[in-house]
Homo-oligomer: A and B are copies of this chain.
């Protein structure tokens, strides 16, 4: 099939590449000429494990190409994916100007039947708005607008696309349904379902799923906070809960709050949708408050140890990305922690395997970035672990002891066992677990 993908951000590029991988002819469109040129010469503009290989293979075999010319790109397309940014506006609602702008352009270009697919995460009712924009210039019989939300997780997006848990397709048109079924057939051979539903339900599904996961994390963060108060161990409580098959083991890890380009934005947008529809979404409001507070939890622990004024204190940071295996720092807890530490007068020495370049753009002058994880410990007063990268999970504790000026570790991801830290003689605070104090007589 001929597929056009408009927008080559994270979602667009993964979508285009993966559809090319099943034999479709995919043209990706972007207005950014430099970016298009880069992709034409083989450069993958984002970091995503496994994408390179597919990108290379499909560009080489000419199933995947790039252009800035929208009209040329959609000429032969049977399906047009809109994978455009929907940044949160001032009030938290998603800004649809990019999507509706492209819909307007398409309305004067479409000459034969095409399925227009909203792939971006867009609020309930967007399919109707896109429809309205198109119908201002084209006949209704020449297109259908479909909602087909992406469920890609950064770091495993290629896998998520190629082997989806499910595909959600919102359309009331039989014709569009047939086209979409054909397109997705190679991805659901193992019996993973395609759910067909109306457009509004499909649009809401994406927000509901992400907001639910944010609720799950936030509930566990609250349980962790309570554990600290009552002297329980959240790690054990988590295992006891997660083994209930109705609850499940995954996504129950407490930490320093959720971040990234999806959860905060989607939670905020769903809350906005509720507000606009005169519904008081009580749990979601609490979730937002819990997360706001949770992002400060580690700084509070550091201040409780060193005092409110951190002038003269240097903190080593492990991890900046909002989660492992990505260079994405959008809404990352690390940024909030950096801001708060800097405000309290602390110096910061940070290391992240992938995200340092992105952080340098914004915070290059405020913090020191180092090339290896142990460099971040040299001459610092405490280590703060922010992102649970694998490489931080079994570090060389002896080396850590020697490098840290004070054997003090604040772990926002519960990476280490309390017993282990006690044996190594660390002062160790984590989330929802007992503080490991340094034994008497031992100098920090």
Contact = CB atoms under 8 A, between A and B. Distances in A.
Interface of A: 124-125, 151, 165-166, 168, 192-193, 195, 197-198, 200-206, 208-209, 211-213, 215-216, 218-219, 222-223, 225-227, 229-233, 236-237, 239-241, 243-248, 250-251, 273-274, 277-279, 281-287, 289-290
A246 B236 contact: no
Contacts of A168: 240
Contact of A197 (B212, B231, B233, B245): B233
19 contacts: A166-B243, A166-B244, A193-B243, A195-B243, A200-B230, A201-B240, A203-B232, A204-B227, A205-B240, A209-B244, A209-B247, A213-B246, A213-B247, A215-B215, A225-B279, A226-B273, A229-B277, A229-B279, A283-B283
Contacts of A282: 222, 286, 289-290
Nearest to A245: B165
In the complex this chain forms, how many copies of it are found? 2
A209 to B, nearest CB: 5
Contact of A215 (B237, B250, B281, B283): B283
A218 B212 CA distance: 11
B240 A195 contact: yes
Contacts of A226: 204, 273-274, 277, 279, 281
Contacts of A222: 279, 281-284
Nearest to A168: B240
Contacts of A195: 236, 239-240, 243
A211 B244 CA distance: 13
Given A200-B230, A229-B274, 8 more contacts: A166-B240, A197-B237, A198-B232, A204-B227, A212-B219, A212-B241, A222-B281, A285-B286
A92 to B, nearest CB: 16
